[in-house]
Amino acid sequence: MSTRAAGGPATSSKGRPSPGARRGLAAAAGILTALAFQPYNLWPLVVVGVALLTVLVRGRTLRQGFGTGYLFGVAFLALTVSWTYVIAVPVAVLLVVVWALWFAGVGLVTALVTRLPAWPLWVAAEWVLGEYLYSRVPWGGFGWTRLAFTQADSPLAGLFPYVATTGVSFLVALLAAGLAWAYSAYRTTTGRQRLQAVAVVTLAYVLAVGGAVAARAVTHTSQPTDTITVGMVQGNVDGVGLEAFGRARSVTNNHMSETVTLMAKARAGLLPVPDFVLWPENSTDIDPILDTETNQVVSTAVRVANVPILVGAVTEGPGAYERQTTALWWDPVTGPGAIYHKRNLVPFGEWIPLRAQLLPLVPMLKLVGAQSVPGNSPGVLSVDVPQHGTTRIGVMICFELAYDQTVREMIQGDASTGGGAQLVTVQSNNATYAGTGQISQQWAITRIRAMETQREILVATTNALSGYIRPDGTVVYETHQRTPASTSVIMPVRNGLTSAMRFGAGIELALVAIAVAALAAAAWRSRPARAKASPVGQNGTAPSS
């Protein structure tokens, strides 16, 4: 229902907002979209915010689309990831102003592809392309604010096991683009055509939401082959912000103490006796293998529990002044065993890109400490659980939750582990961000991963949120922040794969390919008309006038 002439803008300039109003609306669109994320959780607003951005850039030049998208991104990120200020205010400002460039790119390509027929489809695909890129580039990306991560409590959550996070992001963007199309059609048509536009979009919403609700009613979980009782320890830390860990080894002492409490409750019959115990990321702040005192504390905790502990450790190496964030299986008889190193590291939090060049310029980066080195294998530990034999335990460490490929490879496994994760754990250290929106944002992502993988997930953090989540995203148990806590839960051992885990990578690549093709088609369609060739005389020269 476009009123656009071929090659021209989608609508006339009549009735368009002034440049100042447009900038204000772009910021408003970013704020509306941000309010769909935790801790606000006004998830329907993501459709409104993205639709408003689409309306603002449709029919505009590429430069205008870029600028409008950038303002959207600044407002959006300032509200969603402002919690990075606890590291340093300049870090938060830098993150916002740099990462907003990706949303500027989304605005630009949206302005371009809305010149094509059936443009809502291509707009949605471009959002997937944008998320694909900013989840990877630069320095491993920062895909913390993808559209799908607003949908943990929405009817669309029923689609996570089918189409994965990427597919849900696409659908959210498609619903938003459809709303933008209906608005544009309503403004530029009259009578029956207006009703048709409203009817088409309403039907699309009913089908999408109804289909998702029906999908959620279907059971996807595979039948468990066993059940294992797992203890969870949240030991708490002594400080806040960058000083959260307090004195060296105090975090490890805290987790040893809370393990004693857990086992006392279990042996008194107040909790099921665990088959192993889960400690969080950074529950040792010094290498427990190399440091004698830390080793003794962990060994004491393991002896008290009399079952293995999956320790979240900081380990030294592989090179000089390097470290790794590690999940370490510690057996009461054989000691340290199976090991997994975190793969997705936080830039400027765990490692410094361009370290040699940036450290002299920004001395405060020294607070990061030794350079973290990523692991290179899936997060699956094939271990011997007492009374249950060999079990494949999946491990996601904090920031890794945002990375689809890391989650898929954990569930799928490889030859080195003999298969994918049969039960899933998350180790996290959110102590630095206590009291900020980061905590609830990560919790929502964790719930989405439970739905996507159709696995129960047990989470242990240093000081919250820890807890237990069912495959439908329901929270069974949740701790409070800044307090010690422990419990034990009975976890099913599962082997099945959802469609999201089998085909998620293919869904993503297909949508990215569609986005690239749409971009190419829109660029070709929008190319400047070639100047008509002048008549050429028989001797090969243009006739004189």
316 is catalytic: no
Determine what percent of the chain falls in helix, strand and coil, rounding each to the nearest 5.
Answer: 50, 15, 35
8-34: b (≥16 Cβ within 10 Å) or e: ebbbeeeeeeeeeebeebbbbbbbbbb
532 is catalytic: no
Question: Annotated catalytic residue: which of 281, 350, 400, 452?
Answer: 281
Give the tokens for residue 201.
């979009």
Q: Calculate ∠ Cα 472-474-477, nearest 5°.
A: 140
Question: Annotated catalytic residue: which of 126, 258, 350, 398?
Answer: 398
Contact assessment for residue 492 and residue 259, using Cβ atoms and an 8 Å cutoff: no
Nearest by Cα to 458 from 231, 274, 148: 231
Q: Tell whether omega for the bond before 492 is within 30 degrees of 0, i.e. cis.
A: no
**Alpha-carbon span 50 to 26, nearest angstrom:** 10
Contact assessment for residue 174 and residue 182, using Cβ atoms and an 8 Å cutoff: no
Question: Annotated catalytic residue: which of 342, 350, 452, 508?
Answer: 342
Q: Calculate ∠ Cα 96-101-102, nearest 5°.
A: 105
Give the tokens for residue 38.
């935790």
Nearest by Cα to 420 from 448, 453, 450: 453
342 is catalytic: yes
For residue 130, count other CB atoms closer than 10 A to its CB. Answer: 23
Contact assessment for residue 421 and residue 394, using Cβ atoms and an 8 Å cutoff: yes
> Which residues are known to be catalytic?
281, 342, 398
